[in-house]
């Protein structure tokens, strides 16, 4: 009798083991490789939001998800190295954060699913043709902003602004597009745009200093060179009492007076949801590229004081977050 019970238990154990093994076979480990052009708070927030959204969708790093991240450290040659490595590894999805990384990967593979994020204008960057489903291996999320609303924030900070300065990397297509569009919109309102090139991070502070005495306000885009060394730009503005307005809320925490922009962590979470859809079987080419609607107004009163600005109570009341 005991022998019979032993064999029954053994058979049951083998059946359970086979069932468990079958379940594992049905849910294999997925691979997501992530790269960003450089490390800075906004792009880091995109990465973290993507990972957290994947976890919430049931893809947990180390359990059923292999996750690899590499930063190009702002170096074009490293972008190329990462591109070759990622394409050679053939993961289930590649997440490309910021325009230079996305452009390199989109040019390198037409088969591996690519989800871009932290890209201001994916059409100008030639990642997709339009906002419709691409029919290719590419989809993603943009943080494109309404520049008229950005000008409204500038005027709220400096009501009589007549000259706006901007420091940007002429090698970053999203930055050049913003400069061109912003110039046109400002000129229509009788405001001049004075732009200064900063092709390297070390050029940002000297470029900003060259604007002293020439502008009423400096506006910063999500240019990766500028944002990665934002404190150097803030120092110039603080020392020269030039009001600094940003296009991303993380830069307000770092010393800009105000920004009406995207919550980059939430942008990352939206990116992660798209990646999960692809891991679950959807084709990237069937998913339309989108822009973020999750905009917030951040104001830094301490920065305003350092840069010689008195903010109106009405403007302060509009803020989603006020930093003292």
Predicted confidence (pLDDT) per residue in 254-263, tens digit:
999 999 998 8
Q: Could you write out the DSSP letters of every residue in 71-137? A: E-TT-HHHHHHHHHHHHHH--SEEEEESHHHHHHHHHH-SSS-EEEEEES-TTTTTS-SSSS--SSS
- Cα 262 to Cα 247: distance, rounded to the nearest angstrom: 8
Summarised one tens digit per residue, pLDDT across range 76-106 is 999 999 999 999 999 999 999 999 999 999 9
> CA-CA distance, 297 to 162, in Å (whole number)?
23
Q: Which contiguous run of DSSP H or E holds residue 27?
A: none
Average pLDDT on 13-21 reads: 48
CA angle centred on 205, ends 263 and 157, rounded to 5°: 50
pLDDT band at 54 (very low <50, low <70, confident <90, very high): very high
Separation CA 176–CA 168 (nearest Å): 8
The average pLDDT across 193-222 equals 97
Mean pLDDT of the chain: 92
Range 134-138 average pLDDT: 98
Alpha helices in 189-292, H assignment, sequence order: 204-209, 224-228, 230-240, 249-253, 264-279
* Nearest to 163, CA basis, from 85, 93, 240, 242: 242
Q: What's the rounded Cα separation, in Å, for the pair 196 and 193? A: 10
Do residues 252 and 259 lie in contact, with contact meaning Cβ atoms separated by under 8 Å? yes
For residue 158, name the pLDDT band (cuts at 50, 70, 90): very high
- pLDDT interval class at 292 (50, 70, 90): confident
Model pTM greater than 0.85? no
Q: Which two tokens stand for residue 52?
A: 């957290």
How far are the Cα atoms of 97, 169, 192, 251, 298 from residue 196, in angstroms, in the given order?
A: 25, 9, 13, 19, 26
Sign of the Cα pseudo-torsion (147, 206, 158, 231, in order): positive
Q: Is the dihedral of CA 281, 87, 225, 221 positive or negative?
A: negative
Q: What are phi and psi of 163, to 5 degrees?
A: -140, 120
């Amino acid at each position: 009798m005991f022998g019979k019970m032993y064999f029954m238990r053994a058979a049951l154990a083998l059946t359970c083991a086979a069932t468990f093994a079958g379940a594992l076979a049905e849910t294999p480990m997925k691979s997501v490789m992530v790269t960003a052009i450089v490390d800075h708070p906004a792009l880091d927030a995109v990465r973290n939001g993507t990972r957290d959204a994947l976890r919430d969708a049931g893809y947990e790093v180390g359990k059923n998800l292999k996750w690899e991240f590499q930063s190009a450290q702002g170096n074009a040659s490293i972008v190329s190295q990462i591109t070759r490595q990622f394409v050679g590894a053939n993961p289930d999805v590649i997440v490309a954060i910021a325009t230079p990384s996305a452009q390199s990967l989109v040019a390198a593979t037409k088969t591996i699913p690519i989800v871009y994020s932290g890209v201001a204008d994916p059409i100008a960057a030639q990642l997709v043709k339009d906002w419709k489903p691409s029919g290719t291996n590419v989809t993603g999320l943009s943080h494109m902003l309404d520049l008229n609303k950005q000008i409204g924030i500038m005027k709220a900070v400096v009501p009589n602004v007549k000259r706006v300065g901007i420091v940007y990397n002429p090698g970053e297509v999203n930055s050049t597009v913003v400069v061109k569009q912003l110039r046109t919109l400002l000129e229509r309102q009788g405001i001049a745009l004075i732009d200064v090139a900063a092709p390297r991070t070390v050029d940002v502070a000297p470029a900003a200093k060259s604007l002293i005495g020439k502008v009423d306000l400096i506006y910063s885009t999500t240019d990766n060179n500028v944002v990665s060394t934002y404190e150097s730009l803030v120092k110039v503005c603080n020392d020269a009492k030039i009001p600094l307005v940003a296009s991303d809320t993380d830069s307000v925490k770092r010393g800009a007076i105000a920004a009406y922009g995207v919550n980059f962590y939430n942008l990352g979470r939206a990116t992660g949801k798209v990646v999960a859809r692809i891991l679950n079987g959807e084709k990237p080419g069937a998913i339309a590229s989108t822009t973020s609607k999750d905009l917030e107004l951040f104001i830094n009163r301490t920065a305003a004081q350092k840069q010689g600005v008195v903010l109106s109570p009405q403007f302060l009341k509009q803020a989603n977050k006020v930093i003292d």
